[in-house]
Amino acid sequence: MSPALKVLLTGSGGQLGQALLASKPQGITLIACGRAELDLADADACADAVRRHRPDWVLNAGAYTAVDRAEQEPELAMAVNAGAPGAFATALAESSGRLLQVSTDFVFNGQQGHPYRPEQDVDPIGVYGRSKAEGEQRARAALPADRCCVLRTSWVYGPVGKNFCLTMLRLHALKAAAGEPLAVVADQVGCPTATHTLAAACWAAIGRQLSGVLHWSDAGAASWYDFAYAIGELGAARGLLAQPAQVLPITSADYPTPARRPSYSLLDCAGSRKDLGLAPVHWRQALARVLESVAAVS
């Protein structure tokens, strides 16, 4: 890390933001902005923050992530997920600053059936994915290629915030107590990614001054059913659950949602792991660490 590297972090109150704060490397001067400090829907405010603080990097970890609600709020989703990175990049172009834009597997349509490589064309199928893809495009268009890094990830969760893991822990307890099964979609495949490994990837990208498009998720593959089953199994082993609920696999058709999800959104991370200098961590191993963190504060 360069000494006294100044990083403007957005989304500092979110689950990834908190992991980034907890793992900040030495030699970083961090300007942490949550919703109260910076409204990502306000492009002028985003540009002003860059001009005022003149960071070496903007780490844009904030986002509009309500996938279903985005279908009813497309303007807001586009303002946050596309307008903000575009504004950051445009303001950074006036200086020597760089942008790390955190993006998503939802920029792909999920139809190819094998892992997506960073250089592949995007083809999102919902408002959320379209807004994130537009954010990537605006950021890369406004900055020189060597000063913009897009880091795509998938199925993010951690020990804090609102996410699938914590929701499933709660539902396992409720369903097990009621003697009812827990039905979870089994025909959508991707990979869970823990916030602590994603934070490590973000800091590595900044430390190595990487650019272009990178993919980062934990290793392996899973359906939401697999993930929910493992949460129950490992949660019970760590004393977070008296017992897990029975988990039943269902199809996406059995659980309709306002937004379509890609049926297969696994990311090819092999090249990016080499660039980042980070070893793969299997998603179950990462999940065990997250659940240990949850247990430590329970």
CA–CA dist 56, 29 (Å, integer): 10
Catalytic residue, candidates 128, 157, 229, 264: 128
**Strand 247-250 relative to strand 182-185, pairing:** parallel
Q: Where are the beta strands (DSSP E) in the chain?
A: 5-10, 28-33, 57-60, 98-104, 148-153, 156-157, 182-185, 189-190, 193-194, 212-215, 222-223, 247-250
Q: How many residues does the chain have?
A: 298
Question: How many other CB atoms sit within 10 Å of the CB of residue 22?
Answer: 11
Contact assessment for residue 197 and residue 287, using Cβ atoms and an 8 Å cutoff: no
Q: Residue 179 contacts by C-beta under 8 Å, 6 or more apart in sequence?
A: none
CA–CA dist 82, 112 (Å, integer): 26
User: Residue-wise over 193-220: b if at least 16 C-beta within 10 A, else e?
Assistant: bbbbbbbbbbbbbbbeebbebbbbbbbb
DSSP characters for 147-163?
GEEEEEE-SEE-SSSS-
Annotated active-site residue 128? The verdict is yes
The enclosing H or E element of 174 equals: helix 164-178
The residues assigned a catalytic role are 128
